[in-house]
């Protein structure tokens, strides 16, 4: 489902920005949505994301010096941002190019050094700040381009790990592996059931007979690197350290609900106990949800989506009025199988599974009620499940 217009535009913009077309190749890496399993990936639990047919398009060509030149069609007012292989340090003035530069830096950390620089143009159709992983999409796209242009021997799974490493250590956001993994390993019409503890995974076919996946964007701007996300992670790490004194576990995801209930009293800080509870319960919900899907029980899958949102709201405290309004309004509508926030939270999107005949009513009613309560519009996207990165 490659958008030929986007491909054409990215190549035309390359010619406009850098004055050449020969030897320029076009690429694509998807965005992702997580169906269930939120804030479990850095707790050694399971996640269930899928790649989307929207994502980031890129055009790139090697240079014969060590200059790096970047241009984003989405941020065309910024113009060309120039850098070099000698300047792989994060900086405010580098703006969005900190993401590709971080990937180049992370490649070098693995002994894969670029002998020459390159020019790169990107053009994304992932809504900005939506929590559909535009940063992971850009990281995997960059890694994929580097592998193709410079002939590095690295797997798609490695591209995911390199992208996560660069986001953690170059860009300062302590994200788990899910986003980059879903982008790098996407498979059409399948979600990925991933155990983040050991990166074992299986593809699960998504058969939504007579229903669609709809993503609703709160249009509230959120920035993941902010302290809120890292604070949740730190609290879970602190909870894990306490429980490890008496229990042999590597991550909170190792605990069953029964085991957690037995030992949760060791977490004397009530807020810490709630955060740990979410990590344990959400992991078990994800395992149960994938089984429900395999059994063709979409209704049960939908119930678990709702429980996931309620836990993210009440225990993990990452939703906020915008996401809660979207989810709670969706739950009232006949034909909505399930709806929950997706991504890091604090803004971004909900993901809903909606029966075909209910889609118009869903968009109209949720949209009107959201505007009444929040004061501005939400945006609705009907999405398809796509594959991983590719050369176009």
Q: Report how far residue 192's alpha carbon sits from residue 362's, in angstroms, rounded to the nearest whole number.
A: 27
**Are 339 and 355 in contact, with CB atoms under 8 Å apart?**
no
**Whole-angstrom Cα Rg for the chain:** 21
Taking alpha carbons only, the member of 383, 373, 289 closest to residue 326 is 373
Taking alpha carbons only, the member of 212, 257, 238, 223 closest to residue 357 is 212
Q: What is the three-class DSSP state of 109?
A: helix
Strands 67-72 and 81-84: antiparallel
Cβ neighbours of residue 193 under 8 Å, at least 6 residues apart?
46, 48, 201, 202, 203, 204, 290
Q: Report how far residue 53's alpha carbon sits from residue 32's, in angstroms, rounded to the nearest whole number.
A: 9
Q: Which two tokens stand for residue 264?
A: 């949760």
179 is catalytic: yes
Point out the catalytic residue in the list 179, 195, 254, 324.
Answer: 179
Residues classed as catalytic: 179
């Amino acid at each position: 489902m490659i958008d030929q217009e986007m491909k054409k535009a990215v190549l035309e913009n390359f010619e406009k920005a850098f004055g050449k077309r020969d030897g320029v190749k076009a690429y694509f890496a998807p965005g992702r949505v997580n169906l269930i399993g939120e804030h479990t990936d850095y707790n050694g639990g399971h996640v269930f994301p899928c790649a989307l047919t929207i994502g980031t398009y890129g055009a790139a060509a090697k240079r014969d010096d060590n200059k790096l030149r970047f241009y984003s069609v989405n941020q065309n007012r910024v113009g060309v941002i120039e850098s070099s292989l000698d300047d792989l340090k994060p900086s405010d003035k580098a703006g969005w190019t900190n993401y590709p530069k971080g990937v180049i830096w992370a490649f070098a950390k693995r002994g894969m050094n670029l002998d020459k620089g390159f020019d790169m143009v990107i053009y994304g159709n992932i809504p900005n700040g939506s929590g559909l992983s535009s940063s992971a999409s850009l990281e995997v796209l960059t890694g994929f381009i580097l592998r193709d242009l410079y002939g590095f021997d690295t797997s798609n799974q490695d591209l995911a790990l390199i992208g996560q490493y660069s986001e953690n250590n170059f860009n300062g956001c302590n994200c788990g592996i899910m986003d980059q993994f879903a982008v790098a390993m996407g498979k059409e019409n399948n979600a990925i059931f991933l155990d983040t503890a050991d990166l074992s995974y299986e593809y699960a076919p998504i058969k939504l007979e007579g229903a669609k996946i709809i993503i609703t964007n709160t249009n509230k701007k959120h920035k993941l690197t902010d302290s809120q996300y890292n604070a949740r992670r730190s609290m879970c790490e602190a909870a894990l350290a306490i429980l490890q004194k008496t229990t042999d576990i590597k991550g909170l995801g190792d605990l069953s609900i029964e085991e957690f209930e037995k030992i949760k009293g060791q977490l004397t800080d009530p807020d810490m106990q709630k955060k740990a509870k979410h990590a344990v319960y959400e992991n078990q919900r994800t395992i149960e949800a994938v089984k429900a899907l395999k059994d063709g029980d979409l209704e049960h899958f939908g119930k678990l989506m709702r429980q996931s949102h309620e836990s993210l709201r009440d225990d993990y405290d990452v939703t906020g009025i915008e996401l809660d309004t979207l989810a709670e309004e969706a739950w009232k509508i006949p034909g909505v199988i399930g709806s929950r926030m997706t991504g890091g939270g604090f803004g971004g999107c909900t993901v809903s599974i909606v029966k075909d005949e209910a889609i118009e009513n869903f968009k109209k009613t949720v949209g009107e009620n959201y505007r009444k309560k929040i004061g501005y519009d939400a945006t609705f996207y009907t999405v398809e499940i796509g594959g991983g990165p590719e050369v176009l």
